[in-house]
Amino acid sequence: MKSSDSARAGNAASLRAAVRALRRRDPVLRRIMQQIGPCHLRPQRHFFWALAEAIVSQQLSVAAAATIFKRLRQLYPDHRVPRPQDLLATPAVWLRAVGLSRQKVVYLKELAEAALDGRLPARRLHSLSDEEIIGTLTKLHGIGRWTAEMFLIFVMLRLDVFPVDDLGLQKAIQRAYQLRRHPSAATMRRIAKRWEPYRTVATWYLWASRDGKGVVYGEG
């Protein structure tokens, strides 16, 4: 793995270090942390399925996406998570029958092809920087920068990701720091400078501050 702070993946010890550092540096975050409690970010192992879930969830409610996931897994033995080769071999008409749009079927098929032909190098992702991963993922249809950033945060647990275009984060910063106006990207980056190299953890707490609970992958 590259030695830059942006490329560091988190574990329990590094999350504790992040929380300690953020508490010292930012009294606003310290109050939020006291209200929310422990950070529940955990890395995930199934990169392909996590990206497939992200594609399926786009523009759907949590409940609607969960229904489609359940139906999708029922297509495979023991209702297991499908592998790329499983998804690629599944007729498009079957995928449409579980509730997927034609466009999402195309996106999922391309994702499966990419996982098999090396365009999505799952075993090499850990060695890439955050921006390299974003560049790799956004070459695939159906995956934009925001989705790639959520993948870095909730799946790979990279510690210094700051999704400046996320509306929920923008609103959380405006409220937490009592800003009169909706914050610009420049204002957000100025505030977040003190959080480096732990902007992922700060972001998670700010998201959680909006509803008083933790945030999981797949929630808007």
Dihedral angle sign, alpha carbons of residues 17, 18, 19, 20: positive
Out of 26, 130, 160, 166, the active site residue is 166
- Residue closest to 39 by CA, chosen among 215, 164, 199: 215
Residue with tokens 């700051």: 162
Q: Are 53 and 89 in contact (CB under 8 A)?
A: no
60-86: string of b/e by CB count within 10 Å (b at 16+)? beeeebeebbeebeebeeeeebbbbee
Residue with tokens 């923008």: 170
- C-alpha dist (Å) from residue 199 to 60, 95, 98, 150, 187: 27, 38, 38, 13, 15
The yes-or-no answer on residue 166 being catalytic is yes
Rounded to the nearest 10°, the torsion over CA 209, 211, 216, 220 is -100
Catalytic (active-site) positions: 166
